[in-house]
Amino acid sequence: MLRFAALTVILLGTPGAAQQPSKAEQFFGKEELARQVGLHEKGCKRGDAGECFNLALAHAQGLSVPKDEARAATLYKKACDKGHLDACNNLGIAYAQGVGVKKEPKQALSLFEKTCEAEDAKGCFNAGMSHASGGDVARAATFFERSCGRGHATACFSLGLAHAQGQGVKKDPQRAATLFSQACEAGNGAGCNVLGGAYMAGIGVPRDLKRGVALFEKSCDAGVPGGCFNLGLAHQRGHGVAKNPERARSFLQKACGLGHTPACENASNPK
């Protein structure tokens, strides 16, 4: 089956990794991919919501069919109307961004809240992001809470930021650290990085430099630029580890390669 996830963070994300057409073709082969898409077409015509959703993904990504975002949106709607929650989420993202349909934030939010009420963690997270982008941080926090409670790592991270900054909820460093830990354990590398900073500074948790370094390392391994940058600084300054200029430079260069500008400056002119 085709797998798809729309956005990740910043706006209306659903986690995962969408296959690029070339990778899908490499994995399945062109003939097999075309056969699968043909089966999805037949299944959708029979009224199978899952097959309509898979066919929508094929049109959204141009997998063995011409890329057609409007057609994808139509198919998402067909699947959503039959109760397919992932289709409702993707249709919501389409309305949020105006991809294949006219941009309608209210319609997007309605779809996200519909999936959230059906106990879908992605829907709750997306609803939270919609409220946050609209400036209602308190309402956003309630949806992040619901999504985090259902295991959505990025929702736990977002709720942690809210508690750390006192946005829409009471400022609570200890609660924030707990949420960052949940996010980190669930695979959110940014959560590991922020939690590492908390241990380094003793904010919401006892100060523990070695623990901070371990979390920066976990974050860097996950490809988070800030995690690599902080890990480089720790080795550069001897915070939680022995000073090691070579390892410091290596981590700073990795962060630079991931687009972290201060890391590029620091790697070129170490202090």
Residue 19, pLDDT > 60, answer no
* 121-133 and 137-149 helices, crossing angle to 10°: 170
Q: Which of 27-31, 55-59, 153-157, 214-218 has the lowest mean pLDDT?
A: 27-31
pLDDT at 12 over 80: no
Question: What would the pLDDT profile of 117-152 be if each residue is shown by its tens digit?
Answer: 999 999 999 999 999 999 999 999 999 999 999 999
pLDDT of residue 22: 54
Local confidence band at 8 (pLDDT 50, 70, 90 cut-offs): very low
From the CB of residue 71, how many other CB atoms can be counted at a distance below 10 Å? Answer: 17
**pLDDT value of position 7:** 31
Cβ-count burial of 93 within 10 angstroms (0-12 exposed, 13-18 middle, 19+ buried)? buried
Query: Which of 123, 118, 120 has the alpha carbon at shortest distance from 93?
Result: 123
pLDDT band at 31 (very low <50, low <70, confident <90, very high): confident
Report the mean per-residue pLDDT for the chain: 90
Residues of the chain above pLDDT 90, percent:
84
Find the mean pLDDT for residues 236-253.
97
Amino acid at 200: M
**Around Cβ 17, how many Cβ atoms within 10 Å?**
10
Question: What are the pLDDT digits (tens) for 188-230?
Answer: 999 999 999 999 999 999 999 999 999 999 999 999 999 999 9
Closest by CA to 251, choosing from 269, 270, 235, 271, is: 235
Residue 168's nearest CA partner among 210, 131, 205, 121 is 131
CA 178 – CA 181 distance, rounded (Å): 5
pLDDT at residue 15 greater than cutoff 60: no
Confidence of residue 30 (pLDDT cuts 50, 70, 90): confident
Secondary structure in 3-state letters for 209-238? HHHHHHHHHHHHHCCCHHHHHHHHHHHHHC
Half-sphere exposure of 236 (CA within 13 A, CB side): 19
Q: What pLDDT is attached to residue 271?
A: 57
For residue 239, what is the DSSP state? S
Query: What per-residue confidence (pLDDT) applies to 26?
Result: 67
Give the integer Cα–Cα distance in Å for 162 and 243.
34
**pLDDT tens column, 146-182:** 999 999 999 999 999 999 999 999 999 999 999 999 9
